[in-house]
Structure 1
Amino acid sequence: MRTATAILSFVLALALLPLQPAAAASLPGGKSTYVVSQGHLKASSRENWVRLGTYRFAANGTVSASSYLWWQRRPEARQRTGMVPDKSCTTKAGGSASRPRMCRVLTAGGYTGAPDESRTGTFTMAGDVLTIRWKIAQAWTEQWYVRRSPDGKLTRLDLKGSTLATHGYGYGSNAAIGTRRAMSSVKAFPGALRQDLTSWAGDKLVTSNNQPFSLSSFRACTTTTSCLTYLQPSSRSACQKSGGCPNYGGGTKADISSIQYYLTKISNSDRRDTMWHWCTCLAMERREFCYTGNSHVKPLMQVIDDSGAFRGWVGAEASFSTGSSRKADMLAVFRLTDFR
């Protein structure tokens, strides 16, 4: 009887011991908040898609995502951002002016509104590999290589593999998603941004890595301070006679291969920016001042490090053709950063 009583007392004592909390999950690179660009881009497909959004990781091993989705199954028209750069950084004249034209800046359809989708899942870390399993109707698992910047203020995600995506980029820190830098800080960025990109157009994939991005060439606007502009004087490969500009493009008597660039903020409360660009000669071919055809619209998310400093962007191009042919769409995922 004494033995039974002793055993019962021992069991009760164990039951009364304080519960130990579950071990906290290791955050990817020690960072909680990421901006992510990814896409399903295959040369043989006309159902390609790109996503741009945020991932938020918690110490309990869960992750949540909020994303904008652009899909060839549901092409969306370009939309106005509400930005018209002022005369200090644009011009109302045509020809060979040194500033871009004063036009209403466009972005991809839906990007000025709320994200298209949200999802949750779980994550694990094994060495330098992050695995995410999303809890959605179909199986969706992602794996990313996790790389920390030399200064420890930023973590980079390089896509290792995914059930659905073929290409992707991500950057994370512990800065809140509402932390962003004004265009004046972007313009003053002291580092060198370079671009890695995979694009789809005309049933072809093109990969372009380590391309310099001339942020210092952009002009700040005096009144519309949330916008930067740049007129690239010429291009060796784009805006040519053989590329849609038979009367005015590069290689013609007029030989105009300049490109109109616009960078503008989309939101005050999160990381959204956008880039819009188009060949000057394309507008001239249509006798337009502001081009209304297949311009390039590229939603961006600012990369912000632990100190709150601007470090570049991840982005997605979602330029759907204004015609009915999906072959003329232009899609891409890319990064423009100083940590690659």
Structure 2
Amino acid sequence: MKRMFGACWRLLLALTLVFTATAATAPGMAQAVDYPGGKRIYAVSIGGFHPDSTGKQSFARLAMYYFNGNGTVTESFWFWDWGTGYPHANIKPTSAGCVGKACEIHTSGGFQAGAPTKSLNGTYTNNGTEVVITWDGGQTETWNVGKPTAKLSSIGLASSSYGANIGQGYGSNAPHDTFVPLNKVPRHKYLGRQNSITYVVKTGKIETGTKASIMDLTSTAWKQCNGDCLSAGLPVGSPDACTACKPGETRAIRYYLASEGGRKNYYEHHCTCLRQGGSDCYAGGSHVKPQLQVIDDDGVLHGWVGVEASNREAKRGTLSMHWHVDV
């Protein structure tokens, strides 16, 4: 009797172990996975920039990544590609209080209020220094994880399976709807990089490249126009800027940084010599740069990730992605 009881007990134990192992590895069963750098929500700029001769399509994407801690991840994003034209869109804030007239401020078509976002779902693995995301369609991204501060983490794109070759994101555990109003933005120098594809008017060629980039808000020329807009008129900082100005014309740039609330910000600039008829306003091919605020655990703003989608016509203008931070 004891032998029979012992055999039954061993069989029950073996079956329990089998069922436990099966449950732990069953397809679709989500497992606990640490957040990258201990942070759940990331503002991300990602793109693929390729010479047209390669036949690869260049694109830029601005996104929020939500890591769920159970091995799943969701992305909400805006998307632009080089082979499509995106006419500029007007936003609600104007330059009232900054220049002589209340000029329209613009953003890239598809980023204005009410424009739909796209989404992706997937899974991720995290070994502490590297995060691998597999989206439901099978596309993968590998990111290196950094720690700029105790309250802010970073991810930098190492590789992808679908043509993305540059990406940068910053994450924290602040709620996704946390943001800093423009009158509270720290007037710092925000440093970073830009990768781009550009149609060069003078040569008629399409060029790709990368360079250091900066958003410098330290100048006293920056003024609070109204509750939703900052603006400055600044001299050019590079010999390559505003080369379309005629001899004798002042080479200066008008900048706008606007908000309609939330993490979305609208960054726009143009050469003042291109305004027609003495108007304070400009409706031409300005540089329009959708941006998302980089926010740490305490709700402090440390800069932006963004894209430039100034390609109002297919394969004309500039398409780029960038980041500007003070950490």
* TM class by smaller structure: 0.7 to 0.9
1:232-243 map, 5 Å: 232-240=234-242, 243=243
Q: Which of the numbers 63, 66, 79 marks the counterpart of 1:56? A: 66
For residue 282 of structure 1, what is the aligned residue in structure 2?
A: 274
TM-score (norm. length: structure 1): 0.82
Structure 2: segments with no counterpart, 5+ residues: 25-29, 200-205
Q: Which of the numbers 236, 258, 263 marks the counterpart of 2:257? A: 263
CA distance in 1, matches of 2:189, 2:282: 30
Structure 1: segments with no counterpart, 5+ residues: 93-101, 247-251
The answer to whether the 8 A contact 2:174-2:295 is kept is yes
CA distance in 1, matches of 2:198, 2:16: 65
For residue 196 of structure 1, what is the aligned residue in structure 2?
A: 193
Q: Which of the numbers 80, 86, 91 marks the counterpart of 2:100? A: 91
For residue 145 of structure 2, what is the aligned residue in structure 1?
A: 146
Question: CA distance change for structure 1 residues 281 and 176 in 2, over 3 Å: closer, same or farther?
Answer: same
- RMSD of the alignment, in Å? 2.6
Q: Report SS of the residue matched to 1:5.
A: helix
Q: Which of the numbers 191, 216, 222 marks the counterpart of 1:214? A: 216
One-letter amino acid of the structure 1 residue matched with residue 106 of structure 2: L
Q: Report SS of the residue matched to 1:205.
A: strand
**Normalized per residue, which structure has more strand?**
2
For residue 265 of structure 2, what is the aligned residue in structure 1?
A: 273
The answer to whether the 8 A contact 1:238-1:257 is kept is no
Q: Report SS of the residue matched to 1:221.
A: strand
Q: Report SS of the residue matched to 1:175.
A: coil
1:36 maps onto 2:44 in alignment: yes
Per-residue Cα deviation, 1:58-81 (whole angstroms, up to 9, x for no partner): 111111100001123332211011
For residue 203 of structure 2, what is the aligned residue in structure 1?
A: none
For residue 156 of structure 1, what is the aligned residue in structure 2?
A: 154
One-letter amino acid of the structure 2 residue matched with residue 261 of structure 1: Y
Question: CA distance change for structure 1 residues 13 and 184 in 2, over 3 Å: closer, same or farther?
Answer: same
For residue 181 of structure 2, what is the aligned residue in structure 1?
A: 182
TM-score (norm. length: structure 2): 0.85
Q: Report SS of the residue matched to 2:94.
A: coil
Q: Report SS of the residue matched to 2:104.
A: coil
Alignment size in residue pairs: 308
Deviation at 1:287, TM superposition (A): 6.5
One-letter amino acid of the structure 1 residue matched with residue 176 of structure 2: I
For residue 108 of structure 1, what is the aligned residue in structure 2?
A: 108
Per-residue Cα deviation, 1:77-132 (whole angstroms, up to 9, x for no partner): 11011111222x2224xxxxxxxxx4110001121225431011111123411111
Deviation at 1:213, TM superposition (A): 2.6
The answer to whether the 8 A contact 1:272-1:299 is kept is yes
Deviation at 1:219, TM superposition (A): 2.8
CA distance in 1, matches of 2:294, 2:91: 21
The answer to whether the 8 A contact 1:199-1:333 is kept is yes
For residue 332 of structure 1, what is the aligned residue in structure 2?
A: 320
